């Protein structure tokens, strides 16, 4: 078979920048999947995209499928012949195969013998296969919103204007979205608008680059990064390159050119976050910082043209950014005319959830829980209560209404201006931490109390109205809230009891339709999050199940047990002791009525059971203090010493002896053994 490069390019009008990567990867995956299903071998698959094109290049693509032997199975042999003559079933099967009955074969299977037929099937050419593969790939694209254009009935994210399908130097005869495939592509809309005839699929990237188009997304992205850093160096500043902004900007240009503009220093009187949000959200600018980390009155814009007069492009951007920053100044000045506390009444008009009331109701509930938590963790209860009362007030300010991403940040600024205690102001921002699993947690006790109270209120409230998240729907982000609570309690080393906190949070709600089993349900849901949390920490599912089997309701304690069990699994004694615990568990489960309440040393007969009894008693005295100090790994390390006496016991002692008293006493000894391990976790689960 011969092999060559395949190029597919779909020319479109400007695509939504945040959809480009998804569409590009999906097109590449669709083509790859189609070729794989057709059993056509190929090399690397590359996805390219700009605002005006989606393209895929596939190297070393075979020009046809391999020939295959196809086996067909017909009727059972018993039904195929009667009195030595072929039945209608046999004749019909032969006709479907295009042969006579005498050319059929017998197929032996575990269910009997059947008539069959084998033939060599020629592999189809890539030219014959590709039109269908391409159509399926395009049909499966996750287009965010379809549109029609002109009189056409074709639908796509944006109007499409050309289609390239080249296999080496040959055009594949294919159609898609109302377009016939060809070899014509187009360069930059302004710098090189003329048609480009591609001689070969391998010429794609170089031909476009000569036409002022960087089709490779990653190359274009890194070109922008390099240019931004270079511009910043000229300005003796450091550029802040937000990766999400970098991706978005690279989806807006085909030939990036970084230019530096400036704005009036008077705008710096506004908090830097306000200016940065305005520049990023509205204009897609990168901001610059001085050597003290302060915002400089400069910005870097990425132009899509290499202008002969860059100053005019810069001037245009400066003209556009001025009113945007002026708006930020106006919002800030307007907001400062009122205190945060004066806005609490407005929260009564903002619905949190129709069955759970308004943000004012949520603030009232959270205040009680936050004050309690603060008292438990060495914080100031009055600060926590005040922080909860003010926590959502910045949501109704002009600045946050315009820039929602500034929630919490503006609360901190406005609370500081109002003369609120420093921890209260800090908590305004910290209430939203952690935003994701690896994010920082609140550092202040007031912030920790508020962040916990807010999430616990949401969890108990939403579960209480029966809106538990499903595998695909979690509109109130309860998974994130639950993991946030766990992270704060664990990383903050807060030994709080989750059941107690949930009880308190639940009682703040006046009426909940599903209140009866609410706390147990939410507790189970939150502790179940430890499976994913543990996975991120390198902890096995078996270790999680071992700890989950115990009634541990303090997340900090839960995490310490998890780490201890995970470390224990690395010991050579672990497998044997886990198996022994599983065996003991099974024995005790079947003989619950016969298990003695305590071991009677006078009933111990065999040396092996006496040895195990002595070892268990000895270890109990040394392990108990370790358990009291939550030194679980040391406790399990000590219990690992039980392997030899346990092995000897099961090798030499018959537990289920006919003497009922001796049997009961031996069961009590096994219960003692298992009880020692259960003080940490049910290591029998390590046998899962």
Does residue 597 sit in helix, strand or coil?
coil
Does residue 210 sit in helix, strand or coil?
helix
- pLDDT at res. 592: 62
Q: Are residues 50 and 198 in the same domain?
A: yes
Across all residues in the chain, what is the average pLDDT? 92
The domain boundary residue, chosen from 493, 528, 563 = 528
Task: Decide if 341 is inside a domain.
Answer: no
Residue 548 has pLDDT above 80, yes or no: yes
Contacts of residue 30, Cβ cutoff 8 Å, sequence gap at least 6? 133, 136, 137, 138, 140, 141
Question: In this structure, are residues 207 and 185 in contact, taking their beta carbons and an 8 Å threshold?
Answer: yes
Residue 2 has pLDDT above 90, yes or no: no
Question: In this structure, are residues 273 and 406 in contact, taking their beta carbons and an 8 Å threshold?
Answer: yes
Task: Decide if 343 is inside a domain.
Answer: no
**Predicted model pTM:** 0.81
Paired strand residues for 286 = 300
**Which of 45-49, 138-142, 222-226 has the lowest average pLDDT?**
138-142
Taking the C-alpha atoms of residue 7 and residue 2, their distance in angstroms, rounded to an integer, is 16
**Which of 315-319, 358-362, 603-607 has the lowest average pLDDT?**
603-607
- pLDDT at res. 483: 94
Does residue 207 sit in helix, strand or coil?
helix
Q: Are residues 600 and 667 in the same domain?
A: yes
Query: Could you tell me which residue, 283 or 663, shows the higher pLDDT?
Result: 283
Residue 52 has pLDDT above 90, yes or no: yes
Does residue 239 sit in helix, strand or coil?
strand
At 172, which CATH number? Answer: 3.30.70.260
E strands present in 349-420: 351-353, 357-358
Task: Decide if 589 is inside a domain.
Answer: yes
Q: How many domains does the chain have?
A: 5
Q: What band does 596 get if pLDDT is binned at 50, 70 and 90?
A: low
Q: Are residues 310 and 222 in the same domain?
A: yes
Taking the C-alpha atoms of residue 419 and residue 407, their distance in angstroms, rounded to an integer, is 19
Question: In this structure, are residues 494 and 456 in contact, taking their beta carbons and an 8 Å threshold?
Answer: no
Query: Could you tell me which residue, 395 or 114, shows the higher pLDDT?
Result: 395
Q: Are residues 168 and 149 in the same domain?
A: yes
Residue 290 has pLDDT above 80, yes or no: yes
Q: Are residues 256 and 320 in the same domain?
A: yes
Residue 661 has pLDDT above 90, yes or no: no
Q: Are residues 300 and 315 in the same domain?
A: yes
Of 544, 528, 541, 534, the closest CA to residue 471 belongs to 528
Residue 151 has pLDDT above 70, yes or no: no
Query: What domain range includes position 77?
Result: 68-121
Task: Decide if 559 is inside a domain.
Answer: no
Rg of the chain (C-alpha set): 35
Taking the C-alpha atoms of residue 248 and residue 410, their distance in angstroms, rounded to an integer, is 26
Residue 688 has pLDDT above 70, yes or no: no
DSSP 544-585: HHHHHTS----HHHHHHHHHHHHHHTTSTTHHHHHHHHHHHH
Q: Are residues 129 and 190 in the same domain?
A: yes
Taking the C-alpha atoms of residue 365 and residue 310, their distance in angstroms, rounded to an integer, is 57
Residue 187 has pLDDT above 90, yes or no: yes
Question: Starting from the edge strand earliest in sequence, which strands make up the sheet with 257-262, in order?
Answer: 238-239, 286-289, 295-303, 257-262
Question: In this structure, are residues 431 and 454 in contact, taking their beta carbons and an 8 Å threshold?
Answer: yes
CA atoms within 13 A on the CB side of 501: 34
Q: Are residues 368 and 478 in the same domain?
A: yes
Contacts of residue 167, Cβ cutoff 8 Å, sequence gap at least 6? 4, 5, 6, 7, 61, 63, 126, 127, 130, 201
């Amino acid at each position: 078979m011969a092999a060559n490069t395949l190029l597919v390019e779909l020319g479109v009008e400007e695509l939504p920048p945040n959809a480009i990567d998804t569409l590009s990867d999906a097109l590449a995956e669709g083509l790859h999947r189609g070729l794989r299903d057709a059993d056509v071998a190929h090399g690397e698959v590359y996805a390219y995209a700009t605002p005006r094109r989606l393209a895929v290049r596939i190297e070393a693509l075979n020009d046809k499928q391999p020939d295959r032997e196809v086996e067909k199975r017909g009727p059972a042999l018993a039904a195929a012949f009667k009195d030595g003559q072929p039945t209608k079933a046999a004749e019909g099967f032969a006709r479907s195969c295009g042969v006579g009955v005498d050319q059929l074969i017998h197929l032996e299977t575990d269910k009997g013998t059947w008539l069959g037929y084998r033939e060599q099937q020629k592999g189809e050419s890539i030219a014959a296969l590709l039109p269908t593969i391409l159509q399926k790939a395009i049909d499966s694209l996750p287009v965010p919103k379809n549109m029609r254009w002109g009189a056409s009935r074709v639908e796509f994210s944006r109007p499409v204007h050309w289609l390239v399908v080249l296999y080496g130097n040959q055009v594949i005869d294919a159609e898609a979205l109302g377009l016939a495939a060809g070899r014509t592509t187009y360069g930059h809309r302004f710098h090189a608008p003329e048609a480009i005839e591609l001689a070969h699929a391998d010429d794609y990237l170089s031909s476009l680059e000569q036409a002022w188009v960087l089709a490779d997304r990653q190359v274009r992205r890194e070109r922008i990064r390099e240019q931004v850093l270079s511009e910043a160096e000229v300005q003796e500043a450091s550029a802040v390159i937000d990766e999400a902004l970098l991706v978005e900007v690279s989806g807006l240009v085909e030939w990036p050119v970084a230019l530096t503009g400036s704005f009036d220093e008077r705008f710096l009187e506004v908090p830097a976050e306000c200016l940065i949000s305005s520049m990023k959200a509205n204009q897609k600018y990168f901001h610059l910082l001085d050597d003290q980390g302060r915002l400089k009155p400069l910005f870097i814009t990425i132009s899509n043209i290499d202008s002969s007069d860059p100053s005019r492009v810069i001037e245009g951007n400066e003209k556009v950014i001025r009113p945007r920053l002026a708006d930020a100044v106006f919002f800030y000045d307007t907001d400062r005319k009122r205190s945060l506390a004066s806005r609490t009444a407005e929260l009564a008009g903002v619905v949190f959830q129709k069955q759970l009331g308004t943000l004012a109701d949520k603030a009232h509930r959270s205040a009680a829980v936050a004050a309690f938590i603060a008292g438990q963790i060495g914080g100031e209860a009055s600060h926590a209560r005040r922080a909860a009362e003010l926590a959502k007030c910045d949501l109704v300010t002009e600045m946050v209404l315009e820039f929602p991403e500034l929630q919490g940040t503006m609360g901190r600024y406005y609370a500081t201006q109002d003369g609120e205690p420093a921890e209260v102001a800090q908590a305004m921002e910290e209430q939203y931490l952690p935003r994701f699993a690896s994010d920082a947690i609140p550092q202040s006790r007031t912030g920790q109390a508020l962040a916990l109270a807010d999430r616990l209120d949401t969890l108990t409230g939403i579960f209480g109205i029966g809106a538990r998240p499903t595998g695909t729907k979690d509109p109130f982000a309860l998974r994130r809230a639950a993991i946030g609570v766990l992270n704060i309690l664990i990383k903050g080393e807060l030994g709080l009891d989750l059941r107690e906190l949930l009880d308190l949070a639940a009682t703040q709600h006046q009426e909940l339709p599903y209140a009866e089993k609410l706390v147990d349900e939410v507790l189970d849901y939150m502790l179940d999050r430890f499976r994913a949390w543990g996975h991120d920490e390198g902890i096995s599912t078996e270790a999680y199940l071992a700890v989950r089997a115990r009634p541990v309701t303090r997340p900090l304690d839960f995490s310490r047990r998890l780490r201890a069990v995970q470390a224990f699994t690395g010991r050579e004694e672990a497998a044997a002791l886990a198996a022994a615990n599983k065996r003991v568990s099974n024995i005790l489960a079947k003989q619950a009525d016969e298990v003695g309440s305590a071991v009677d040393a006078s009933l111990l007969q065999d040396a092996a059971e006496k040895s195990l009894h002595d070892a268990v008693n000895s270890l109990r005295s040394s392990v108990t203090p370790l358990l009291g100090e939550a030194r679980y790994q040391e406790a399990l390390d000590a219990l690992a010493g039980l392997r030899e006496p346990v092995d000897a016991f099961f090798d030499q002692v018959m537990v289920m002896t006919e003497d009922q008293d001796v049997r009961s006493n031996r069961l009590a000894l096994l219960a003692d053994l298992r009880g020692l391990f259960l003080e940490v976790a049910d290591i029998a689960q390590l046998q899962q």
